[in-house]
Chains A and B, each alone.
Chain A
Amino acid sequence: MIPLGHYLIVSAILFAIGTAGVFLRRNLITILLSIEIMLNAVNLSFVAFGRAQGTVDGQIITFFVMTVAAAEAAVGLAIVIGLFRHRESLNPDAFTSLKW
């Protein structure tokens, strides 16, 4: 059986990859994808903890997170489409004003 530590290490690596993606990529869609990676990294650690404890709490929370992530992706992509129609750009640095 794979020990808990390994799961957590994978989870941390995934989270770091996601974080790096959010900060380094210059495309809004990629940033959204990176956020998904971060969320799934967290999901992985929840499930791992749940299994280590022998409860299903971790899995339940994971389902909530997945629901929220789906909603977030829907809203986020809609906003991204809206923004793109205005600026013909997906670079977040193009959107620094509160209104235009």
Chain B
Amino acid sequence: MIAFIPLFPLLGFVINASLGRVLPKTISGGLASLVMLASFAVSLAVVWRVASLAPAQRVVEQTLYTWIASGDFLLDLTLRVDPLASVMILVVTGIGSLIHIYSTAYMHDEVDSEYARYFSYLNLFAAFMLVLVLGANFLVLFIGWEGVGLCSYLLIGFWFQKTSASDAGKKAFVVNRIGDYAFILGTLLLFVRFGTLDFQRIASATAPLGAESMFGTLSVATLLLFIGATGKSAQIPLYVWLPDAMEGPTPVSALIHAATMVTAGVYMIGRNAVLFSHAPETMVVVAVIGASTALMAGTIGLVQNDIKRVLAYSTVSQLGYMFLAMGVGAFGAGIFHLYTHAFFKACLFLGSGAVIHALHGEQDIRNMGGLKAGLPITYWTFLIGSLAIAGVPGLAGFFSKDEILFETFAHGHQILWVMGILTSLLTATYMFRLVFLTFHGQRRHDAPAPQHPEEEQPAAHLSHQPAQAGSHLPSAGSHRHDAGSHLHDAPAAMAVALVVLALGSVLAGYAGIPRALGGHNALGAWLAPSFSARSVTTLADRAVGEVGEPEAGEAGGAGVELSLMVVSSIIATSGIGLAAFIWLKRRELADKAASTFPGVYRLLLNKYYVDEVYDATIVQPIRIVSQEGLWRGIDVHVIDGAVNGTASIVEGGSTLLRRLQSGSVRTYAGSLFIGVVLILGYYLWR
């Protein structure tokens, strides 16, 4: 039965990929959405079955067949649903279905065959992601891991006629390959160490061991796995592909960012929680990378002008939070944030898609503003999503983010906590900058000509401002009014997805109300068995006690948690207030800040020049070595030289031998005669 969860989307892929050219849009899109809903229904049934078991044995397995049997090594193609996987499959299929439904409207301008191609990729993406989360061993996970990499390439480069889109697709693919390479190495190392690739067996084998105090095999293996995760989940240093992934259609961004792909790394660490918690060094690295990524991406998000890029950096930042949680050992909190983030990030991306759809492809927020009246559904759902991601009390993001921050604090990582709080402030600020610039105020056309939006001078930006800031010029106003009246809000299919996701952004958090607020963290308790080794004694469980349910937090007291909550609520609201003050009341302040610190502004606008640094330190050297060394040197001279050399040796030899074959009968007869004489002479005179 579990097998049907990935098989349904795969079926949709097969049908749309093979017959898509001849199917009308309603059928190809409807079919794609239908298979996702079917997969969601099966997931619900499976999760229901899992939930009906006792908490200790909540595992449902299905072995499809023995994949590899070689000597002692036996590898089954096994799918396994445990509490962690059940959360993931519900997120992937549930939010995936909504994104499919949304896409039926969003992609409606494409021709039939492109439309079907789009949906076939989308279904394949979901199928691979489901294989990834359902796989019971590293190799099955790896199929999905590579599969989502492939699909992200296909979807980011969906509009492949556009150079930037196909470049972005290639970038995503190549950057992911780097991570995947490390992931394979980590997998092999674990296999050498444990002789198995099954997650549960590795966990059981690890559990009795003490935490590695020195930098040993486990640390190396987990670090390699983590490098794989940084590629897939867009963390420092391999996050660079994600912002470029915005070249794909907007629902794809939602799918990649919310339901699939980027969550894979977080999930993988959660899946190997026991392993990671035995490698404290790796955990510190994970936490530090997570917190740094969160903070760095947050600062970049603050100055970006493309609506989707802001959201992209916010995804990177939120993923940083998840890794921070994983790194401090709060696996439940990390997955909780993954789950709430899926709702509000999907909501935000689909909302931004609705905006772009309404504005016929305009993505620059400097050309937006005042869309609130024209796009009420989009506005309200986007606002709810923003409130949720900012961490306003009562919404989904609040609970999960606070749990992460509290866990960080409780595990004694004060510096990381400060970074988290700062990121939380940044998140609230840049999200509401986005909301205010997009939906509030007047419709603007501030953006400079789109030649090099990345490198534009802050001063040039400033020069447009005084006329725009508080102006109510009648002529300009009437023009803006005209522009606003053409707007059409999200069509029904998009609106449904938006509303459901907005509801989810509000309600999702109530699955894990912390104890300090009188809840009992149902989600945390539900997930706990997945983070401890099964079928080992309770003693071993206690050795990795903090892995499961943060009992340590209880001792720290609800008081600390409550006060931290108050702090982060204040931070979130003050971030929103700051954004409101700057971008609603005093827009010139932002530009003044930009022109006061032009260096900082340019640094942020150009994303810390990370792409340029990578280009100079990695891409160009590889290019030069490949071009001058491997191509012009080895390929041209050694390989081509060997081939051509063989040919010229044969040619030269033949030219010499050709002389012998003069065609003159007498020469032949003469050489025959001399030969006979020589041979006879030899035998006679011997």
Contacts and interface: CB of A to CB of B under 8 A. Distances in A.
Q: Do A and B bind each other?
A: yes
Interface of A: 19, 22-23, 92-93, 95-98
Nearest to B664: A96
B663 A98 contact: yes
B479 interface: no
A97 B663 contact: yes
A93 B664 contact: yes
A96 B662 contact: yes
B670 A23 contact: yes
Contacts of B665: 92, 95
B664 A92 contact: yes
Nearest to A97: B663
A98 B661 CA distance: 10
Nearest to A28: B665
Nearest to A26: B666
Contacts of B670: 23
17 contacts: A19-B673, A22-B666, A22-B669, A23-B666, A23-B670, A23-B673, A92-B664, A92-B665, A92-B666, A93-B664, A93-B666, A95-B663, A95-B665, A96-B662, A96-B663, A97-B663, A98-B663
Interface string B655-683: 00000001111100110010000000000
A93 to B, nearest CB: 6
B684 to A, nearest CB: 14
Contacts of A19: 673
A95 B666 CA distance: 11
A97 B662 CA distance: 8
A96 B669 CA distance: 13
A66 to B, nearest CB: 22
B663 A23 contact: no
A4 B670 CA distance: 30
Given A23-B670, A96-B662, A96-B664, 10 more contacts: A19-B673, A22-B669, A23-B666, A23-B669, A23-B673, A92-B665, A95-B663, A96-B663, A97-B663, A98-B663
A25 B300 CA distance: 100
Choose among B664, B666, B673 the residue with the greatest number of A CB atoms under 10 Å from its CB: B666
Nearest to A35: B669
Contacts of A92: 664-666
Nearest to B661: A98
Contacts of B669: 22-23
A97 B664 CA distance: 8
Q: A interface, by DSSP: helix, strand, loop or mixed?
A: helix
Interface of B: 662-666, 669-670, 673
Closest A-B pairs by Cβ, 4 of them: A96-B663, A92-B665, A96-B664, A97-B663
B491 to A, nearest CB: 79
Which of B662, B663, B670 has its CB near the most chain A CB atoms (within 10 A)? B663
A98 B658 CA distance: 13
A93 B663 CA distance: 8
Contacts of A93: 664, 666
A88 B665 CA distance: 18
A87 to B, nearest CB: 13
Contacts of A98: 663
A16 to B, nearest CB: 11
Contacts of B666: 22-23, 92-93
A3 B666 CA distance: 36
B659 to A, nearest CB: 13
B661 to A, nearest CB: 9
Contacts of A95: 663, 665
A97 B666 CA distance: 14
A19 B669 CA distance: 10
A95 B664 CA distance: 7
A97 B661 CA distance: 10
B665 to A, nearest CB: 5
Contacts of B662: 96
A19 B662 CA distance: 21
A98 B664 CA distance: 10
A92 B663 CA distance: 10
Contacts of B673: 19, 23
Nearest to A98: B663
A95 B667 CA distance: 12
A41 to B, nearest CB: 14
B253 to A, nearest CB: 71
B676 to A, nearest CB: 11
A29 to B, nearest CB: 14
A92 B669 CA distance: 12
B607 to A, nearest CB: 73
A96 B347 CA distance: 88
A93 B664 CA distance: 6
Contacts of A97: 663
B586 to A, nearest CB: 97
Contacts of B664: 92-93, 96
A5 B435 CA distance: 126
A59 B453 CA distance: 109
Nearest to A25: B666
B104 to A, nearest CB: 72
A92 B664 CA distance: 7
A92 B665 CA distance: 7
A12 to B, nearest CB: 13
Nearest to A92: B665
A23 B663 CA distance: 15
B671 to A, nearest CB: 12
Contacts of A23: 666, 669-670, 673
B667 to A, nearest CB: 9
B12 to A, nearest CB: 66
Nearest to B669: A22
A54 to B, nearest CB: 26
B200 to A, nearest CB: 77
Contacts of A22: 666, 669
A71 to B, nearest CB: 19
